[in-house]
Chains A and B, each alone.
Chain A
């Protein structure tokens, strides 16, 4: 399936993952991912028909919080690491809509 990793695929993944790769990095990524996927295709040797995909290893269920307010004003701690802030909010380049 490695042939699915063409220039367009790398471009598309850059949009999804918000990464802008240099031409050199793109070529490297294409080669690396192609090889990686070839290797991962090894999984196709396994017959997994009838196997339930496992997302959680342990049968832990129903972990809840009660609906009780415990947190106070978190603004100062929140903004302390902001690359660009006003006194009360983060600043980002203009968004539309």
Chain B
């Protein structure tokens, strides 16, 4: 009989900070530049170039550290991590090992068994590497340093997680926290949030930790779930067959559903860290910390409560709307223009979420103006368009941020409120459907619904269904 195993998981999460410039030079961090356009001597390791620390990086790192209940190293330093790779222009990465900016914190997550604390070992600052573009046919790779020197924080958890669900809950918690702080957009697919998983298994009840492996290249929650299950199974199989797990770094291949060891005799994993002589220490005095604390924006729980109290939203709505800072922002901005919070909430939660899900889209990709959503809500409110049309217009706003007033005008989508015109159409429909009229007369009330439907179709949806219903019934009763 197979033994029971417990999975022990710790995470190293890298988050790209939302600064305008790189960590040690004044190059832009924005995406979309031509390869190597966003570079200078500093972020490309030119001889004689020197780093100067971006203050905003420290502030974001502190904000995140405080939000995950960390202690702060009031004198922290940068260290060099030495290893050769072409995406690492100096062949050392400036990071923090000996005195990371924040340490010893925790976050609380909700699990099936209730609330659980996940320990945070440390939060440290470091620079990102460049990008290698692999030439599939040829024997070469191309090096692009646009991302080289983009600021990162690495959040290292304690090995406190026991399942993929807990890992995802933990990541969601970090994502929400960091997005609310404005420190990063935390997009897994885009790579602005990346998780490496340290996983080991041990017999249930064992005190000793098993040998762990580190898994990289996980860029969606689904991949993370599969990778954890796959790696857990792989390690159990090794143990069951009397083998030993090797401590190593593995790369998850989500297409094949397997992990592959990343090993080379040229990787000694001896990084020879030492304090970077080019960067003086960072001293974080109490007054600076206090300013960071004061500047903390409204966080998710506070917002959720406020939505219930201030806007009278049901808890369910408040939970959903606040689960993404981006949605909460759209909600608040729209409400500020047109009021009607429940209506705004409905549009975002029902239609918005449906569209996101349909296209498997990241919330951070939302890109429409609250003004247009507010205008749409007003059009409905004033009965200029009906709800069916409104849904179609919402979709246009959602994808292309159209101005609903112009759109409705140009596409002739206004509700037809001309009763005479409508009555003429209904007369025609009734004349064309004698069977339905007969059914109605026999007492089949549903037949009236069919006629209403036919009328709406003839009107291309631009009639008010209530009005059509009323007119159809009036005409039928006159027959």
A-to-B contact residues, CB < 8 Å: 12, 15-16, 18, 55-56, 60-71, 73-75, 77-79, 86, 88-95, 97
Contact = CB atoms under 8 A, between A and B. Distances in A.
Contact of A64 (B55, B140, B262): B55
Contacts of A15: 265-266, 268
Interface stretch (B26-34, B187-195, B206-214, B301-309): B26-34
A56 B53 contact: no
Nearest to B59: A67
A59 to B, nearest CB: 9
Contacts of A88: 34-36, 144
A67 B56 CA distance: 6
A89 B36 contact: yes
A69 B33 CA distance: 14
A53 B77 CA distance: 13
Interface string B339-378: 0000000000000000000000000000000000000000
Interface stretch (B228-236, B274-282, B467-475): B274-282
Please report whether the interface of chain B is mostly helix, strand, loop or mixed according to DSSP: loop
B289 interface: no
B134 interface: yes
A56 B79 CA distance: 13
Interface string B25-53: 11110000111111111001010000011
Nearest to B91: A18
Chain A interface SS verdict (over half):
loop
B72 to A, nearest CB: 14
Nearest to B260: A97
A71 B141 contact: no
Given A93-B140, A93-B141, A64 B40 contact: no
A65 B52 contact: yes
Contacts of B139: 93-94
Contacts of B265: 15
A78 B36 contact: yes
Contact of A67 (B20, B35, B140): B20
A63 B54 CA distance: 9
A95 B132 contact: yes
Given A62-B280, A86-B142, A95-B132, A69 B53 contact: no
B268 A16 contact: yes
29 contacts: A15-B265, A55-B275, A55-B277, A56-B275, A56-B280, A61-B281, A64-B52, A64-B58, A65-B26, A66-B54, A67-B56, A68-B20, A70-B26, A71-B40, A73-B38, A74-B37, A74-B39, A75-B36, A78-B46, A88-B35, A88-B144, A89-B35, A90-B142, A91-B140, A91-B142, A93-B140, A94-B135, A95-B141, A97-B262
Contact of B28 (A69, A75, A79): A69
B255 interface: no
B84 interface: yes
Contact of B280 (A12, A61, A65, A75): A61
A88 B34 CA distance: 8
**Would you list the 9 A-B pairs with minimal beta carbon distance, nearest first?**
A70-B26, A64-B55, A67-B56, A89-B142, A55-B275, A74-B39, A90-B143, A61-B283, A75-B36
Interface of B: 19-21, 25-28, 33-41, 44, 46, 52-56, 58, 75, 77, 82, 84-86, 132-135, 138-145, 217, 251, 262, 265-266, 268, 270, 272, 274-275, 277, 279-283
A89 B143 contact: yes
A97 to B, nearest CB: 6
Nearest to B270: A16
B145 A69 contact: no
A71 B268 contact: no
Nearest to A66: B55
Contacts of A67: 19-21, 54-56
A75 B143 contact: no
Given A75-B37, A89-B36, A94 B141 contact: yes
B27 A69 contact: yes
Contacts of A73: 33-34, 37-38
Given A64-B54, A74-B27, A94-B140, 19 more contacts: A12-B268, A15-B266, A16-B272, A55-B275, A56-B277, A63-B53, A63-B279, A65-B53, A66-B54, A66-B55, A66-B56, A67-B56, A69-B20, A70-B26, A73-B33, A74-B37, A88-B34, A89-B35, A95-B85
A77 B140 CA distance: 22
